[in-house]
A = this chain, B = another copy of it.
Amino acid sequence: MLTERQKMILKVIVNNYIQLAEPVGSRALSKHSDIGYSPATIRNEMADLEEMGFLEQPHTSAGRIPSHKGYRYYVDYLISPEETQISKENITDFQKVFTDQFIEMEQTLEQAASVLSKITNYTSIILGPEIYQTKLRHIQIVPLNEHNLVAILVTNTGKVQHKSITISDGGSAYEIEKIVNFLNEKLTGIPLYQLKSKLMQEINQEFQRNEQLYGQMMNITHHLFRDEHEYKENKLFLSGTTNILNQPEFSDVHTIKEILTLFEKSDDVIQLIKPSENGKTGIEVKIGTENTVEAASNCSVITATYEMEGNPIGTIGIFGPTRMDYKKMISILDFLSKDFNNFISRLYKG
């Protein structure tokens, strides 16, 4: 479709624009070492590239900048894998995060997000593990006072979730202990998303005769799952949200506000980094309007999935302007996701 020369020109334009954020003109291209043609020749090619939709002109007397289509082509065809090499400093940065010193998943994710945003100077987004991959390890109920309990769930990933419960009649310590024992016996190893149905089922079987305990249990269950989405939604970790302020294209308060408020809406952020096709692994790049979120139409998102036992369970993403250093970002994400996979399998294989 594109001639070799056109590819080369497009590539140089994108690289140039990514670095300097300024439209690049034929003269500058002609000077570039890889290109041995006069400005006039290049102008012709550029006109063709524009006609085909790969380039845009901010105004007549400016150079060209890549269009979304241009970036897309660049990412799909013009980045050679051997070019995408992560630097050694970055590698050691990540390795500090994934020490074998056990820290729980959530903390690790938070640290990874922080390092990622610092390295890239963009905003990093990490979507926590799908909750239905996690199983209940332990459940505990602690009475606070007459009418208030705290229920605590511990999962096999070391995540601790708790929930306050108010009941009219607190019940005796003995009763509570009995209930806790029962819950642990019956529910350990059950995936969180099945917890409620499994629990209801067990209650019905076990406590049919004992009305007192039955009511108690139903009450607790009810409160425990009052906000059921808590056990389904996976947590988001954002870092470096103010980094876009460093980008020259975001110098206008209105667009800044648009993006910063976008970051505050978890749903939109998740929408942004959710893999477009389910089950597809590997790096994905969404450029400009390919993002279904309005406010991000001048931004790009690069995502990678991470896995547990071969199944993708979460996503790591980098959010930045469409004029993003795709080469570098892809290599960093590629490395990080693989490193992260190792980390997970090392820790949670049991």
Contact = CB atoms under 8 A, between A and B. Distances in A.
A101 B242 contact: no
Contact of A260 (B103, B150, B245): B245
B154 A102 contact: no
Given A140-B140, A142-B138, A253-B253, A164 B260 contact: no
Interface stretch (A32-40, A53-61, A155-163): A155-163
B154 A158 contact: no
A257 interface: yes
A111 interface: no
Contact of A245 (B152, B250, B253): B253
Contacts of A256: 245, 253, 256
A162 B160 contact: yes
A158 B144 contact: yes
Range, interface on chain A: 35 or more
B253 A104 contact: no
A152 B160 contact: yes
A166 B102 contact: yes
Nearest to A252: B253
A3 interface: no
Interface in A62-94: none
Number of copies: 2
Contacts of A350: 145-146
Interface in A163-218: 164-166
A264 B245 contact: no
Contacts of A251: 253
A246 B245 CA distance: 16
B165 A102 contact: yes
Contacts of A152: 140, 152, 154, 160
Contact of A150 (B101, B142, B158, B242): B158
A148 B158 contact: yes
Nearest to A107: B164
A147 interface: yes
Given A140-B140, A142-B154, A164 B102 contact: yes
A164 B103 contact: yes
A181 to B, nearest CB: 12
A82 to B, nearest CB: 37
Contacts of A257: 242, 245-246
A261 interface: yes
A262 to B, nearest CB: 10
A11 interface: no
Contacts of A158: 144, 148, 150, 164
A150 B245 contact: no
A20 B282 CA distance: 53
A286 interface: no
Contacts of A154: 142, 144, 150, 152, 162
10 closest A-B pairs by CB: A102-B166, A160-B162, A138-B142, A145-B350, A245-B257, A104-B164, A242-B260, A142-B154, A102-B148, A140-B140
6 contacts: A102-B147, A137-B142, A144-B156, A144-B158, A150-B154, A253-B253
